[in-house]
Amino acid sequence: MDELEKLVSEAESEIGIAQSTAELVAIETKYLGGKGSVQAQLRAIGTLQKEERPAYGARINSAKERLTDFLESRKADISAREIAVRLEAEKIDVSLPGSPMRRGSRHPLTQTMQRVKQSLIGLGFDCVEGPELEDYQFNFAALNYPEDHPAFDEQMTFYVDSDHLLRTQTTALQGRIMRTQKPPFRIATTGRCFRYEAVDATHHHSFHQVDVFMVDEGVSLADLKGTLKQFASKMFGGDVQVRFRPDFFPFVEPGVDYSIYWNDRWLELGGAGLIHPNILEAHGIDTEKYSGFAFGLGIERIHMIQNGVSDLRLYLENDLRFLAQF
């Protein structure tokens, strides 16, 4: 057996035992590629006698055709087998029940807002939504802000134009309600607010608030404190204590900050007070007959206190390791 016949025999043997199309491609390259063993035999023609060259060249071409045909035949068989195996693996039994869909869960702030709304509805308040893109009039002017108040600084507020801004507080709903409704009324609103803030563990440019206000005959600080005590009890437990301390807000007079006693210390929740008479009079409400109270607090603050969360940024970073805990 000469060298050419030996190469063809080896190639056929390897082709015959190959188990995948990838192996066949490698064998084809090894023997029939540009640098393959059989192809290299063409370079040996120059060493033969002139009269022997045509016959030897014909033998090489015949060997290449023989191996090519064998390769194609084996490729067809193995490819069909591989397709059958893959189809079997991918086969779907339509009679089996479908895979259950992964269920998501509500964001912790959404859960907290729902609890807040349920508590306030139980206290007789109507929940109303206000716009996030607010008029300057309702966000500041209608809330008795003095012209030199720091909140007017453009660096504290996202202005869209001279008359519109992203609301800095849900308290902006007060003016809208008083313009269209006559007392008595009890209103609660929750939503997202925006302020220009350096973001850190306790500050963010986007946050959520709940604002509550009512106007009726004879409303006093006693009504405010009683309402806040009931609200705090629903949110934090029946035995929670509420504390008032004097504070200033342009839209209330007198103003207080209120805190709860939680885990052996006082924690501030928000601001409150009796609605300023200037606001009531600006909307044609008789202050000799009617008075009202208002309070507001951060939704994040409630959840942070209840669950020991120390970083406000976690609520808006969409880290499932954090969110899945709630």
Are both 81 and 116 inside the same structural domain?
no
Q: What is the pLDDT of residue 299?
A: 94
Number of structural domains (the chain) is 2
Are both 49 and 198 inside the same structural domain?
no
Are both 127 and 153 inside the same structural domain?
yes
Give the three-class secondary structure for 145: coil
| Res 267 pLDDT > 70 | yes
Are both 154 and 85 inside the same structural domain?
no
Handedness of CA 170, 174, 179, 180 (dihedral sign): positive
Distance CA 317, CA 294 (A): 32
What range does the domain containing 19 cover?
A: 3-90
Are both 120 and 30 inside the same structural domain?
no
Q: Token pair of 103, please?
A: 């269920």
* Helix-then-strand count for the chain, H and E: 11, 10
* Residue 97 counted as domain residue: no
* Residue 95 counted as domain residue: no
* Residue 313 counted as domain residue: yes
Q: What is the pLDDT of residue 189?
A: 96
Question: In this predicted model, which residue has the larger pLDDT, 203 or 223?
Answer: 223
| Res 34 pLDDT > 80 | no
* Residue 52 counted as domain residue: yes
Are both 39 and 114 inside the same structural domain?
no
Are both 60 and 173 inside the same structural domain?
no
* Residue 211 counted as domain residue: yes
* Residue 101 counted as domain residue: no
Are both 180 and 84 inside the same structural domain?
no
Are both 180 and 308 inside the same structural domain?
yes
Q: What is the pLDDT of residue 227?
A: 95
Residues facing residue 188 across a β-bridge: 127, 212
Distance CA 159, CA 114 (A): 30
User: Which of these ranges, 59-68, 222-231, 265-274, 316-325, has the smallest mean pLDDT?
Assistant: 59-68
Are both 195 and 49 inside the same structural domain?
no
Could you tell me how many residues make up the chain? Answer: 326
Q: Mean of the pLDDT values across residues 31-50? A: 77
Domain CATH code at residue 273: 3.30.930.10
DSSP 8-class letter at 153 = S
Are both 175 and 57 inside the same structural domain?
no
Q: What is the pLDDT of residue 161?
A: 92
Neighbours of 69 (CB within 10 A): 10
* Residue 102 counted as domain residue: no
Q: What is the pLDDT of residue 151?
A: 60
User: Which of these ranges, 69-83, 112-126, 181-195, has the smallest mean pLDDT?
Assistant: 69-83
Are both 76 and 117 inside the same structural domain?
no
